[in-house]
Structure 1
Amino acid sequence: MKPEPGALWYVIGPSGAGKDSLLAYARARLPPSGRLVFAHRYITRPADAGGENHVALSLEEFEQRERSGCFALSWRRHGLAYGLGMEVALWLDQGLDVVVNGSRSALPLAARRFPGLRPVWIVASPAALAARLAGRGRESPERVAQRLEEAAALTPPPGAAVLRNDGELAEAGERLLRLLSKDLGRHCP
């Protein structure tokens, strides 16, 4: 008997909201249930650029994989190419719940591709965003200002769980853990 498809936890929010930190927090603390997995992304960014654990690809490698159907979802944003591997679709089909660091711009496509998508919107104050963006040192002050302007215009998608990440990482991290953990029981007999 084929298992019920898993849910895709699609974590999104503006740059600097702390998505990578929250995902790492949750991943390190969730017990290995066998029902929840964290996917990595394929990105045309060097592996040592900081932030999330990802598979670094050259643009040529990325485009070859994209043409070959290796991605369940791919998008371009801020001069980079991002992809979720076909393993995500396989895991969902096997009944696993999958957590991914998504993209607001790819949300409509992701919702069509993955009917079990559950958006998780991470927000932070403008001051927290500015400090985090400046602290990571990947962008010019002008680019940081542009990202802050973009963030101010964003609103959570309908039906999204909204997590504020302004304070200590553990506060928002524990809220994310509760959110991800609450559905794990649906797989138990």
Structure 2
Amino acid sequence: MSNRLVYVVGPSGSGKDSVMAYARTQLAGQPMVQFAHRYITRPAHAGGENHIALTEAEFKARVQAGLFAMHWQSHGNGYGIGTEVNQWLSKGITVVVNGSREYLLQAMKNYPELLAITIEVTPDILKQRLMDRARESEAEIDTRMNRNRILQLSHPKGIVIHNNGALEHAGAALVDLIEQHSKVTLCE
């Protein structure tokens, strides 16, 4: 049995959450494919992905109790993936995780058969999407753009899905990869 999991990463503005939501909807009836919720220290109504909101104190308590299989800090928030993913993996279920590029190397050490997928867009589209969100100042967007360039050069990408066009194209590519992975997992 494989303990691989599908670990999806991409910069803010790449459309990663939208691509994952598309795949989640398409695969909703598949019992052998599960999407892990992230536990995040930001309000549930903050937009973006469907996540479980925790206070800083709750997050720290869960870290101390060993309730996260993975956890990291990014952009002033704590992010965690619950230990339930290990139980799912032990049952042969393909687990899809919304991960962090900065945590990817640690995740690869903890899960050697992890399948890394990077959602990417061209820099001009990325900048426009960040500006359209209107969550950050232009200086903050430039900081994100510089961080993205550094991370693109420094982290392993795995399989790249380009999300420069229609969401359905990138979403279908992710669904195909997850389905291929599920068939491999089920046959092992």
TM-score scaled by length of structure 2:
0.92
Aligned residues: 186
Separation of aligned partners in 1, 2:50 and 2:76:
19
Separation of aligned partners in 1, 2:11 and 2:127:
11
- What is the identity percentage for the equivalent residue pairs of Structure 1 and Structure 2? 44
Separation of aligned partners in 2, 1:156 and 1:144:
20
Q: 2:109 aligns with which of 102, 108, 112?
A: 112
Greater CA deviation, 5-14 or 89-98?
5-14
Give the C-alpha shift of residue 67 in structure 1. 0.4
1:33 maps to 30
Superposition pairs of residues 86-125 of structure 1, within 5 angstroms: 86-125=83-122
Q: Please identify which structure carries the higher helix content.
A: 2
1:137 maps to 134
- The amino acid across from 2:165 in the alignment is G
* Residues 7, 96 of structure 1: 8 Å contact kept: no
1:175 maps to 173
* Residues 75, 82 of structure 1: 8 Å contact kept: yes
- Structure 1 residue 73 and structure 2 residue 77: aligned? no
- The amino acid across from 1:111 in the alignment is M
1:55 maps to 52
- Helix, strand or coil at the partner of 2:45: coil
Greater CA deviation, 135-144 or 63-72?
135-144
* Residues 121, 156 of structure 1: 8 Å contact kept: no
Greater CA deviation, 174-183 or 43-52?
174-183
- The amino acid across from 1:68 in the alignment is A
- The amino acid across from 1:5 in the alignment is S
| Root-mean-square deviation over aligned CA pairs | 1.7
Unaligned stretches of 5+ in structure 1?
none
- Helix, strand or coil at the partner of 1:155: helix
Separation of aligned partners in 2, 1:172 and 1:61:
35
Separation of aligned partners in 1, 2:153 and 2:35:
25
1:163 maps to 161
Q: 1:184 aligns with which of 173, 182, 185?
A: 182
Given the superposition, is the C-alpha separation of residues 120 and 156 from structure 1 closer, same or farther in structure 2, using an over 3 Å criterion? farther
1:150 maps to 147
Separation of aligned partners in 1, 2:90 and 2:11:
29
Separation of aligned partners in 2, 1:34 and 1:188:
15
Unaligned stretches of 5+ in structure 2?
none
Greater CA deviation, 153-162 or 9-18?
153-162
- Helix, strand or coil at the partner of 1:62: helix
Separation of aligned partners in 1, 2:37 and 2:128:
25
Greater CA deviation, 177-186 or 74-83?
177-186
Greater CA deviation, 70-79 or 152-161?
152-161
Greater CA deviation, 151-160 or 127-136?
151-160
Give the C-alpha shift of residue 112 in structure 1. 1.3
1:45 maps to 42
Task: Deviation per CA, 1:89-120: give whole Å up to 9, x if none.
Answer: 11111111100110011111111111221100
Separation of aligned partners in 2, 1:122 and 1:145:
19
